[in-house]
Amino acid sequence: MDEALLVDLSEVETLKGKYLTFRLGEEEYGIAIKFVKEIIGIQKITNVPKVPDYFKGIINLRGLVIPVLDVRLRIGQDFKEYDDRTCIIVIETSSHLVGLIVDSVSEVLSINDEDISSIPEGFSQNYLMGIGKTSTGVKLLIDCDKLLQNDLEVLSMNF
């Protein structure tokens, strides 16, 4: 078997079940670590006209122009002033790099598939993939593709 393929498969296994957890207000959320490219502190964001209000603009990250969105606003929460704990999680999904502004980053957790519950009937949070149960409580697990699903057209046209 091809050695490069073996390395790739082992990387996938290593990342399986791992979630980067972060806070938005009092709630803890998680995203699959496989999407995460890096975490940076909040920095100067250049505004871009004619995009939804949750798109805060673009940043220059080592020569790459990356659109940045405020996850709080994207999921319908109120805006919170950015502070020294505010972070940008740079993710890669559907061939786009996107920065997600969150209140703070917590840790990387392992959550087994059997510890992830489906979203209860009647919940309208179509950006969630499940609810992860951990020893410290529950984490709302975000599906990065669903979170950005309606925004890929905006990303493609503007960035």
pLDDT digits (tens, 9 = 90+) for 72-95: 999 889 999 999 999 999 999 877
Retrieve residue 109's tokens.
């957790």
Task: Give the mean pLDDT of 146-158.
Answer: 69
| Residue 3 predicted with pLDDT over 50 | no
Domain that holds residue 77: 15-158
Retrieve residue 81's tokens.
């002033």
Assigned domain for 6 exists: no
pLDDT on residue 106: 93
6-31, pLDDT tens digit by residue?
444 445 456 688 999 999 999 999 99
Task: Give the mean pLDDT of 25-50.
Answer: 94
Question: In terms of Cα–Cα distance, which of 35, 157, 129, 140 is closest to 77?
Answer: 140
Assigned domain for 5 exists: no
CA dist 43 and 29 (Å) reads 22
93-106, pLDDT tens digit by residue?
877 899 999 999 99
| 64 bridge partner residues | 61
Assigned domain for 40 exists: yes
Assigned domain for 7 exists: no
The CATH number of the domain where 84 resides is what?
A: 2.40.50.180
* pTM of the predicted protein model: 0.85
pLDDT on residue 14: 62
Task: Give the mean pLDDT of 103-123.
Answer: 88
Task: Give the mean pLDDT of 114-130.
Answer: 82
Assigned domain for 4 exists: no
pLDDT tier for residue 155 given thresholds of 50, 70 and 90: low
Task: Quickly list H helices, the chain.
Answer: 3-15, 71-74, 144-148, 152-158
pLDDT on residue 6: 44
CA 117 to chain centroid: 19
Question: In terms of Cα–Cα distance, which of 27, 6, 13, 8 is closest to 110?
Answer: 13
pLDDT on residue 153: 63
Assigned domain for 20 exists: yes
Q: Give the number of domains in the chain.
A: 1
